[in-house]
């Protein structure tokens, strides 16, 4: 039967179905393309931690759906999907609006033999699976793979229980309990999730492409956080071995002397009086970062003030074993915390014991540092007041198990362990924003579902080679965009890869990785890439805006951009960064998908699909191609974000058919863009016969500090010399030039801020 059957449309958000087996299946149409499905033998549902603590969104407007009941099944229908559920055993069949079957249960939903849950979906013969976060670094196509979904050092820094299919569906498992999956490894036709603990709770998504599925998933689990714009520049993390304030200042000064752009300087654990201080009583090292009471670090003449005067932000390394669950319970008004779910975890110890023997971690026990009633971020405010503007959260005890700890919210460690890094990063993000009114730059080694909402991540202390590259791609296929790894500066391939990531950083730690120590061959290459990165910042930042709006990551695995190409799944070393750039690292060949591609270094044009050897100039570190039709905004040279006013934007245009680009701009530091305080400039290009037409629309929107006057230097690439160039229908000769060597037409134009009309540039042979 269905409870409250009369409420068929809009008024009721979920329906409970009492199955003939005696169990209860709850179905909730969340959006027209998303259903939430829950199952319990006793029907006593409780919200899991991801929902309870606001990671996964809970409150949705009621949608229009209909319920049709027959003897054997109940059918839920929205404008975009159909879910049919058997009243006998709860098996479901998920279809799109046209009636095409997307996914169905292979077995009835239920618990495992000892409790928990066991879900098995039937897979079609040719469908491919993507997602699941950073749980392996050996593949991006997950069909035929199985693993534990447990946060572990090195082995699995950020497992994310989201998987999407080339067949037009995705599933997000709404649990933080230790669990496992098998994506057709043991049985080719079955995708299975199971655990000894917790309850069955998952979201089903319908979507006709992987980008659409990512969009719909991040509507539920949260959009990627937009970092402050300077965070998309260069981060340099200093040597750890007894480094003093003076050493850091001279390294910062050397960056400026050598004219190497850089925005963020990071300190490792030695900045603290007690190295690896997990407590809330930590202090600056009195020997290395002495701060008299009368001279705070951010006061004139202080350490942080000196960094700021040179255009640098300061980052501090942190480790944390604090019980962040207490503060989350306070936020939701909990008094006794989450009551243990004994029935759903009848045999918790067995699987946990295997994990505690994992060689990648050192167990930590007993909570000796948490101060009841005091949130974790409270003691960090004084360091923010001292000038810290970013924090690096080491894996440290985030990834360690606490088998004897009963967390303050009542959860056992097998439920809290995966949740912990998300709550920690949430509190760091929110705490910093509430204290400063600015966006946070928090970068963490650990993560789980929802981490994209609060932090950037890096691939842990695993270097900058091929496996971290695969890690970043798997993050992007799981809804997380702001990812990176330590730059491998000792070879040109590592430098190339390091600068072509969503955000980039160098780690010195116990090494001398300062760029000026790289030698006569590598140092100029490094400097070139650093300057190129900063010129391309408006392109990267616009791609970050796209990620924050749609979930489409900045760094895109090939199945996201060329799903029809049979080679995409095997291309682990190449990717697109935004819509325009295709590159690779640590590979001998690069595959160009269908379409026109231009070698960014040489201007040579190719037609895909084609495999090419990785050839590039000796003063570069890897191949770089631009998709035909690309429109790439650039900035003038600068040493740090904000050094020079951005009154002029460069536009590199690679004409091919019809194409467009939207330049997003905001104040770069506050969250006011979420209230619509930003400007969008739409740019389009059309090639017709022998004429290239470029249209720059007026800026739409405003933000604090927006330049009132704006000019453009338009560089139209790969063109024969035109007979004429017109701007807004008028022939102009003084405002344009042609470089025959690079085959580039350059046109300078001013935005018409009074009439607010588009700028039209036409280049062609004329009549």
pLDDT on residue 8: 44
450 within some domain: yes
Do residue 684 and residue 722 come from a single domain?
yes
> What integer is the mean pLDDT of 395-400?
85
Residue 8 lies in a domain: no
Q: What is the CATH number of the domain that holds 194?
A: 2.60.40.1760
Q: Which tokens sit at 220?
A: 């539920």
The predicted pLDDT at position 352 comes to 47
Residue 427 has pLDDT above 50, yes or no: yes
The pLDDT assigned to 406 comes to 82
* Mean pLDDT in residue range 551-567: 98
Find, among 168, 277, 271, the residue nearest to 212 by Cα: 168
Is residue 5 a part of any domain in this protein? no
Asked which of 46-60, 355-369, 621-635 is least confident by mean pLDDT, the reply is 355-369
Residues 6+ apart with CB under 8 A from 654: 580, 598, 626, 627, 628, 629, 630, 631, 632, 717, 718
| 79-88, 317-326, 484-493, 747-756: the lowest-pLDDT one | 747-756
d(CA 548, CA 554): 10
pLDDT tens per residue across span 587-600:
999 999 999 999 99
Interacting residues of 345 by C-beta distance below 8 A, sequence separation 6+: 115, 116, 177, 196, 197, 198, 412, 414
Same domain membership, residue 615 and residue 652: no
* Judgement on whether residues 307 and 171 belong to the same structural domain of the protein: no
- Lookup: tokens for 51: 């929902």
Question: What is the total count of domains within the chain?
Answer: 4
- Specify whether 671 is located in the same domain as 716: yes
63 is a domain residue: yes
Note whether 21 and 118 are same-domain residues: yes
| pLDDT 10s digits, 371-385 | 999 999 999 999 999
Residue at 638 is within a domain: no
Distance of alpha carbon 504 from alpha carbon 235, whole angstroms:
6
Residue 56 counted as domain residue: yes
718-730 pLDDT tens trace: 999 999 999 999 9
Tokens of 555: 């760094």
353 vs 557: which has the higher pLDDT: 557
User: What per-residue confidence (pLDDT) applies to 362?
Assistant: 60
State whether 375 and 433 are in the same domain. yes
Bridge partners (DSSP) listed for residue 39: 25, 200
pLDDT in tens, 102-143: 999 999 998 766 679 999 999 999 999 999 999 999 999 999
Statement to judge: residues 611 and 472 lie in one domain: no
Per the structure block, which two tokens stand in for 306?
A: 């000196």
pLDDT, one tens digit per residue, over 266-294 is 999 999 999 999 999 999 999 999 988 88
What's the full length of the chain, in residues?
767
Instruction: State which of 221, 247, 277 marks the end of a domain.
Output: 221
Taking residue 11's Cβ as centre, other Cβ atoms within 10 Å add up to: 9
**Which pLDDT band, with edges at 50, 70 and 90, does 586 fall under?**
very high
Q: What is the mean pLDDT of residues 309-334?
A: 94
User: What is the per-residue pLDDT for 755?
Assistant: 62
Q: For position 1, what pLDDT does the model report?
A: 35
Residue 676 neighbours by CB under 8 Å, 6+ apart? 701
Same domain, 585 and 466: no
Q: Measured in Å, how far apart are the chain's first and last C-alpha atoms?
A: 76
**Residues 6+ away with beta carbon under 8 Å from 400:** 153, 321, 361, 362, 363, 364
Binned at pLDDT 50, 70 and 90, residue 6 comes out as very low
> Worst-scoring range by mean pLDDT, 10-14, 128-132, 625-629?
10-14
Q: How far apart are CA 318 and CA 276, in angstroms?
A: 8
Q: DSSP assignment of 692-732, as one string?
A: EEEEEPPPBS--TT--SS-EEEEEE-S-PPPSEEEETTEE-
Q: What is the pLDDT, as a whole number, of residue 102?
A: 98
Residue 91 resides in a domain: yes
Mean pLDDT across the stretch 517-537?
98
pLDDT computed for residue 354 by the predictor: 54
pLDDT score of 395: 87
Q: What is the CATH number of the domain that holds 260?
A: 3.20.20.80
Q: What is the mean pLDDT of residues 401-410?
A: 88
**What is the token pair recorded at 75?**
């059918």
Apex 419 CA angle, 418 and 425, nearest 5: 115
On whether both 671 and 760 belong to a single domain, the answer is: yes
Q: Which of 170, 201, 221 is the last residue of a domain?
A: 221
- For residues 318-334, one letter each, b for 16 or more C-beta atoms within 10 angstroms of the residue's C-beta and e for the rest, the string is bbbbbbbbbbbbeeeeb
Indicate left, alpha or beta for 407 from its phi (over 0: left) and psi (-120 to 50: alpha): beta
Give me the CATH number covering residue 691: 2.60.40.1180
What was the pLDDT predicted at 745? 95
Instruction: Check residue 291 and give its pLDDT.
Output: 87
Of 221, 243, 272, the position where a domain reaches its end is: 221
**Statement: residue 617 has pLDDT above 60:** yes
**β-bridge mates for residue 685, sequence order:** 659, 694
Quick one: pLDDT at residue 13? 83
Among 556, 606, 605, 596, residue whose Cα is nearest residue 579: 556
- Top-confidence residue, 731 or 227: 227
CA distance 405 to 1: 42
Same domain flag for 164 and 303: no
Is-above-0.75 flag for pTM?
Answer: yes
Which residue would you say has higher pLDDT here, 758 or 206? 206
Give the pLDDT score at 335: 60
Tell me which residue has tokens 């690096």. Answer: 392
- CA separation for the pair 609, 26 (Å, rounded): 47
Q: How confident is the model at residue 398 (pLDDT cuts 50, 70, 90)?
A: confident
Q: Which segments of 203-302 does DSSP mark as H helices, in order?
A: 210-221, 245-257
| Domain interval for residue 184 | 15-221
Specify whether 176 is located in the same domain as 300. Answer: no
Pair (538, 566) in one structural domain: no
Q: In Å, how far are 102, 204, 211, 379, 765 from 33, measured between CA atoms?
A: 12, 8, 14, 43, 50
Rounded (10°) angle between helices 210-221 and 537-550? 70
Mean pLDDT of the chain: 92
User: What is the per-residue pLDDT across 656-676, written as a single tens digit (0 to 9) for each?
Assistant: 999 999 999 999 999 999 999
pLDDT score recorded for residue 350 = 38
Rounded to an integer, the average pLDDT of 482-499 is: 97
What is the pLDDT, as a whole number, of residue 4? 36
Assigned domain for 629 exists:
no
């Amino acid at each position: 039967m269905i409870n409250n059957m009369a409420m068929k449309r809009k008024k009721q958000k979920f329906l409970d179905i009492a199955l003939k087996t005696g169990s209860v299946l709850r179905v909730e149409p969340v959006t027209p393309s998303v259903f939430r499905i829950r199952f319990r033998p006793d029907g006593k549902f409780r919200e899991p931690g991801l929902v309870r603590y606001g990671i996964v969104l809970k409150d949705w407007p009621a949608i229009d759906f209909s319920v049709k009941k027959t003897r054997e099944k109940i059918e839920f229908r929205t404008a975009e999907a159909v879910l049919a559920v058997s009243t006998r055993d709860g098996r479901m069949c998920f279809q799109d609006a046209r009636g095409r079957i997307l996914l169905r249960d292979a077995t009835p939903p239920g618990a495992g033999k000892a409790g928990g849950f066991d879900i098995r979906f039937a897979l079609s013969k040719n469908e491919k699976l993507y997602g699941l976060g950073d749980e392996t670094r050996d593949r991006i196509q997950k069909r035929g793979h199985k693993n534990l979904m447990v946060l572990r050092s090195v082995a699995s820094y950020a497992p994310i229980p989201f998987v999407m299919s080339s067949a037009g569906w995705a599933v997000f498992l709404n649990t933080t309990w230790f669990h496992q999956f098998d994506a057709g490894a043991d049985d080719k036709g079955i995708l299975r999730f199971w655990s000894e603990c917790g309850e069955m709770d998952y979201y089903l998504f319908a979507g006709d492409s992987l980008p659409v599925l990512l969009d719909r998933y991040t509507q539920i689990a949260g959009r990627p956080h937009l970092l402050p714009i300077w965070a998309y520049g260069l981060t340099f993390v200093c040597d750890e071995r007894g480094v003093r304030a003076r050493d850091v200042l001279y390294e910062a000064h050397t960056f400026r002397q050598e004219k190497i752009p850089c925005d963020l300087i990071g300190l490792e654990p030695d900045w603290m009086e007690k190295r690896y201080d997990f407590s809330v009583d930590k202090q600056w090292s009195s020997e290395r970062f002495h701060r008299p009471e009368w001279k705070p670090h951010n006061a004139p003449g202080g350490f942080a003030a000196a960094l700021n005067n040179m255009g640098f932000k300061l980052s501090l390394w942190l480790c944390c074993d604090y019980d962040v669950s207490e503060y989350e319970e306070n936020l939701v008004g909990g008094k006794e915390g989450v009551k243990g779910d004994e029935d759903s975890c009848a045999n918790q110890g067995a699987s946990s014991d295997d994990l505690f023997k994992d060689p990648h971690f050192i167990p930590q026990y007993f909570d000796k540092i948490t101060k009841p009633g005091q949130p974790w971020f409270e003691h960090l405010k004084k360091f923010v007041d001292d000038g810290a503007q970013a924090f690096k959260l080491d894996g440290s005890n985030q990834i360690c198990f606490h088998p004897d700890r009963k967390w303050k919210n009542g959860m056992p460690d097998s439920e809290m362990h995966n949740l912990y890094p998300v709550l920690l990063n949430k509190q760091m993000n929110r705490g910093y924003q509430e204290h400063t009114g600015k966006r946070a730059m928090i970068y963490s080694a650990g993560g789980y579902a929802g981490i994209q909402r609060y932090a950037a991540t890096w691939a842990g202390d695993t270097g900058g080679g091929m496996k971290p590259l695969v890690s970043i791609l798997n993050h992007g296929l799981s809804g997380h965009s702001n990812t990176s790894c330590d730059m491998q500066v000792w070879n040109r391939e590592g430098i190339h890869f390091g600068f072509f990531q969503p955000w980039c950083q160098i780690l010195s730690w116990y090494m001398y990785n300062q760029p000026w120590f790289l030698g006569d061959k590598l140092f100029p290459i490094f400097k070139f890439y650093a300057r190129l990165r900063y010129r391309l910042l408006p392109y990267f930042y616009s791609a970050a805006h796209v990620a924050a709006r749609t979930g489409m990551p900045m760094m895109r695995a090939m199945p996201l951009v060329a799903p029809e190409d049979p080679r995409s799944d095997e291309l682990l070393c190449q990717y697109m960064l935004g819509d325009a750039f295709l590159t690779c690292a640590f590979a001998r060949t690069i595959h160009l998908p269908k379409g026109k591609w231009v070698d960014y270094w040489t201007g040579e044009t190719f037609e895909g699909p084609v495999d090419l050897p990785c050839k590039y100039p000796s003063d570069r570190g890897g191949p770089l191609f631009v998709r035909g039709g690309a429109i790439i905004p650039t900035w003038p040279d600068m040493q740090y974000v904000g050094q020079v006013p951005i009154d002029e934007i460069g536009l590199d245009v690679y004409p091919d058919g019809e194409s467009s680009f939207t330049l997003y701009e905001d104040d770069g530091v506050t969250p006011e863009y979420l209230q619509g305080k930003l400007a969008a400039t739409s740019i389009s290009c059309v090639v017709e016969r022998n004429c290239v037409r470029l249209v720059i629309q007026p800026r739409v929107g405003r933000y604090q500090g927006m330049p009132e006057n704006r000019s453009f230097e338009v560089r139209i690439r790969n063109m024969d010399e035109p007979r004429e160039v017109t701007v807004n229908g008028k022939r102009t000769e003084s405002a344009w030039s042609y470089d025959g060597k690079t085959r580039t037409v350059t046109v300078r134009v001013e935005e018409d801020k009074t009439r607010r009309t588009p700028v039209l540039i036409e280049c062609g042979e004329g009549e």
